């Protein structure tokens, strides 16, 4: 476990982390929106997309889960790729 803490002190770790997490986060958002509301998206009914995914506090769950998954995946992959 100490090796992980040594790796996160290197600037290349955080460069790799950002290179992994930003595209993964965007891809995760797009896939989630299409899985949840693809009919509404293709119909152009963005009010329904908003109601289903973001209204009434649903945005916290929508964004929170994706942020946590992205950070964990980014840390894992950056740790794995840094020598």
pLDDT attached to residue 2: 65
Of 5, 12, 3, residue with least CA distance to 78 = 12
CA distance 54 to 48: 10
| DSSP assignment string, 12-53 | HHHHHHHHHHHHHHHHHHHHHHHHHHHHHHHHT-HHHHHHHH
Of 26, 15, 27, residue with least CA distance to 77 = 15
Average of per-residue pLDDT across 16-35: 96
Predicted TM-score of the model (pTM): 0.84
pLDDT tens by residue, 44-80: 999 999 999 999 999 999 999 999 999 999 999 999 9
Q: Is 77 strand, coil or helix?
A: helix
């Amino acid at each position: 476990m100490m090796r992980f803490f040594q790796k996160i002190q290197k600037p290349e770790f955080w460069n790799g982390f950002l290179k992994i997490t930003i595209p993964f986060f965007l891809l995760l958002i797009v896939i989630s929106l299409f899985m949840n509301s693809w009919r509404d998206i293709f119909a152009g009914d963005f009010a329904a997309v908003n109601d289903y995914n973001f209204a009434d506090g649903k945005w916290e769950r929508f964004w929170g889960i994706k942020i946590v998954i992205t950070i964990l995946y980014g840390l894992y992959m950056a740790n794995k790729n840094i020598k």
